[in-house]
Structure 1
Amino acid sequence: MSNRNKTAGKPENKKLSNVILEYLFLSAAISLFTFFFLYSTSISLGDNYLAQKGFILTDMQQITFQVWARSICALASLLLFIVIFLSVLGQRLSYLITITRSVEQLHEKGMDYDIPLEGNDDLTRLAESINYLAAARRELWRQEKVFQEEREAWIRSLSHDIRTPLTSMLSYSEMLHSKDHLSRDEMEAYINLVYSKATQIRQLTEQLMDRDRGTWEKIDDIRFLAGQFADEWEELLEGRFTCVTDLAGMTDFSGMADVHALRRILDNLVSNVEKYADPSYEVELTLRNEDRRLILIQRNHIRTEGFGSVESSRIGLENVQKIAALYKGQADISDDGSIFEIRIILNIPECL
């Protein structure tokens, strides 16, 4: 389609054989004109010269003179025909050599080269076709590179999110191992948390194997779901940070949501606090809604001691931004060097 558009408006390419015949007829016409011009001129000049000198040629001498004149003019016209025909034909042969060398340039430069277009015949069409194929190959390579980069970024994203609940499971296991006595309520709470994180890891691995791309489901009470997430966020950080949650701005409403994606947001927020937050200050989580817009705000002081030893890849925050985009929302980050704040806005669709 693009190749047709590119050549639209141009005259139709001629066949190379027709072009050669045109060169042949043109060369022959010029040679014939030259022959008759030279012959008539030479006869006229010869007659005038002999008349001025007072020579009178016999019939035999006149015929001989004309034969010699015709032979010389014919030889000159033949040489002119050969020169003209080979000259114009050589231009197309030279262009064929240019195409051959350009194909070698395409191979050396990885298709990043265009053959110059000359004339309007089969050779020109050949050059256009090669340029089109080279452009198509470059576009294919570009799309493959983009696809590969997106695939690698997606795998890194899910791998990062898999490590987050796995780290939480290890932390819970260490806490269980370190405590000598556990009440039944504490045991059930830890088991539920471990089970929840194991289920989340399974869902993430299914996404990694292309078995699942997320499931949207009807949530009758978004406020209740937000409260559950706030409680889980606080449970994941308790004992290490002073957590403050605020749900005063939440009202009851229903909508469609991917709970698994929301849990990924929660885990990335928790992971960011564990890596970079200063435990000597409170960590704040605010949830509120404005009509159908669910707003999550996490705010914490940034840890300075030992911070340089923690490598920040920002994959978690990028994952949060991508998930927010699925909800046609956004995630804005504010960092003044001492206080970190992330504001997430999610547009909750109405129930189907």
Structure 2
Amino acid sequence: MRLWRTRNQRPLQTSLALDFLRFLVIVLVISLGAYLFIQLDVTQKLKDYQLADPDLKVTASQYLNNPKSGPETEKLLRSRGWLEILDGSKLIKEVIGNKQDQMISYSEEQLYKLLENDRSQDYYYSLSRYPGPGSPDWLLLKIPRDRIDISINSYPFMSYFNHSVTFYILIGAMVLLVLVVVYSYSVARRILKPLKTINEGLKEMIQGNYSTRISVHAEQEFEQMAETFNYMADMIEKTTKATRLAEESKQRMMMDLSHDLKTPVTSIQGYAQALYEGRVEDVERQRKYLSYIHNKSSQVTKLIQNMMELLKTDSPDFLLKMGHHELGDFLREIIADSYGEIEQKRFTLQFQVPDQDIYALFDPELLSRVVYNLITNALTYNPPGTNLRIELIPQATRMVIEIADNGVGIPQELRSTLFDPFVRGDEARTASGGTGLGLAIALKNTERMGGTLELANPGKESTVFKISLQK
């Protein structure tokens, strides 16, 4: 049943209802125990004293109407009392009940003495004259003294106790109040314990300890709060870490950009100043200086363009032109455009594309930049005679383009950061190198298309790049 599930599977409302039900059961059990105790005590008292009724009448006048068979007479006889009818001379005419003494008549003085009902007497007495003009008879009531002390009390069992009924009512109220306080404390502690855990976790988060996680064993609502807290803490920790890494990457990028701009700009300034001050008179040398200035300015322009392209790929306003296109003809066009440079570098080309049409989901402009960049890197960093392989490999759910070479390869220490901005295949930053942004741009462009770009482990070929696209 859902009601009796474990605590951490129950709603708080159900748990509180069950707690209150347990409290009521405890109160009822205690009340029943007290009631049974009193009932047994009273029953024993009545049994010890053989009282037929605690409301026994103890005045003779109450028996005058029907002394022989009335209901009050029956109660009196069950209490071991009896009635005596006396004539005018105080002789006993008739006895109603079981007479336990030997008296057969009374004098006036004896009756006065007996009616004082002293505690030393064996019986309790009450005398009343029969009503009616000229009636000489009297009715004398006798009850054993050990019965009358209890019988005259409307609550016979109260004589056994030392305190009044009010006292015991107050005791019961105090016990009930203690139970209510204990119950309230138990419920409050049950609710406050998980809340305290959550509050301590929030304090840790405020202090910047985003690795804080909490665990509570309580009702569903508290379990859900703890799960929500842990999810929130996890998201904040990841966001904070990503923000910190992005800030560090931004600072590193600015430092690298400053370095890569400073070198060519300094060279441009030096050559321009030499020409401006007239220190170079040879025409051929002047032309050479102007060529240096042109090349360095082109390098700065290329660096700025690549930087703008990198920033553009991160912009949410960047529009993709995604569609299903045939990859074989697409790659053939790229190879045709690059073939002149491949021949000039004296590379050996292996181009492998299936005969059937192969379609994939991509943006032609972005993918062409990625492929061009990888081919250009292979041509730039490898010596003449290098074997360049470009292959299209269909898979079950994706299409893979491999661009590989058997050239100088990429140093092991650069493989983990190769796709970071301003990282080049050569270990030193030299003027002959690229901008160091090409692979970072290629990776971002591939990811924007829902694909992946990775550097595979070297095998027969020293460098293998894999572009994976959705079908």
- Shared fold (TM-score, shorter chain, > 0.5): yes
Gaps of 5+ in 1: 1-6, 119-123, 236-242
Cα distance in structure 2, aligned partners of 1:290 and 1:58: 117
Larger radius of gyration: 2
Aligned-partner SS, 2:406: strand
**Pick from 216, 232, 237: which aligns with 1:115?**
216
Shift of 1:131: 2.9
Deviation string, structure 1 residues 251-271 (Cα, Å, up to 9, x no partner): 798986544454355546766
Residue in 1 aligned with 2:147?
A: 56
Give aligned pairs, total. Answer: 314
Aligned-partner SS, 2:417: coil
Distance 1:191 1:131, change over 3 A: closer
Residue in 1 aligned with 2:90?
A: none
Residue in 2 aligned with 1:85?
A: 180
Distance 1:272 1:146, change over 3 A: farther
**Pick from 337, 357, 363: which aligns with 1:228?**
337
Aligned-partner SS, 2:147: coil
Task: Give me the TM-score of the superposition, normalised by structure 1.
Answer: 0.58
Residue in 2 aligned with 1:245?
A: 347
Distance 1:73 1:215, change over 3 A: same
Deviation string, structure 1 residues 157-178 (Cα, Å, up to 9, x no partner): 9x69x96xx78x959x98xx79
Distance 1:38 1:315, change over 3 A: same
Distance 1:330 1:63, change over 3 A: same
Identity %: 7
Residue in 1 aligned with 2:42?
A: 43
- 1:342 corresponds to 2:443: no
Deviation string, structure 1 residues 192-244 (Cα, Å, up to 9, x no partner): 99877665444333234444355569896632322434656788xxxxxxx44
**Pick from 403, 408, 414: which aligns with 1:301?**
408
Q: 2:217 is matched by which residue type in structure 1?
A: P
Matches within 5 A, 1:253-264: 257-264=363-370
**Pick from 299, 313, 316: which aligns with 1:207?**
313
- Over aligned residues, Cα RMSD in angstroms? 5.9
Task: Give me the TM-score of the superposition, normalised by structure 2.
Answer: 0.46
Aligned-partner SS, 1:13: helix
Distance 1:347 1:35, change over 3 A: closer
Aligned-partner SS, 2:216: coil
Aligned-partner SS, 1:105: helix
Gaps of 5+ in 2: 1-6, 51-144, 206-211, 273-283, 395-399, 424-438
Deviation string, structure 1 residues 39-77 (Cα, Å, up to 9, x no partner): 1122233445668xx943424664465335473764554
Shift of 1:15: 9.1
Cα distance in structure 1, aligned partners of 2:226 and 2:470: 49
Aligned-partner SS, 1:300: coil
Cα distance in structure 2, aligned partners of 1:269 and 1:134: 49
Aligned-partner SS, 2:462: strand
- 1:333 corresponds to 2:424: no
Cα distance in structure 2, aligned partners of 1:108 and 1:339: 55
Cα distance in structure 1, aligned partners of 2:246 and 2:239: 10
Deviation string, structure 1 residues 124-179 (Cα, Å, up to 9, x no partner): 74x3563354245235425635864896799799x69x96xx78x959x98xx798
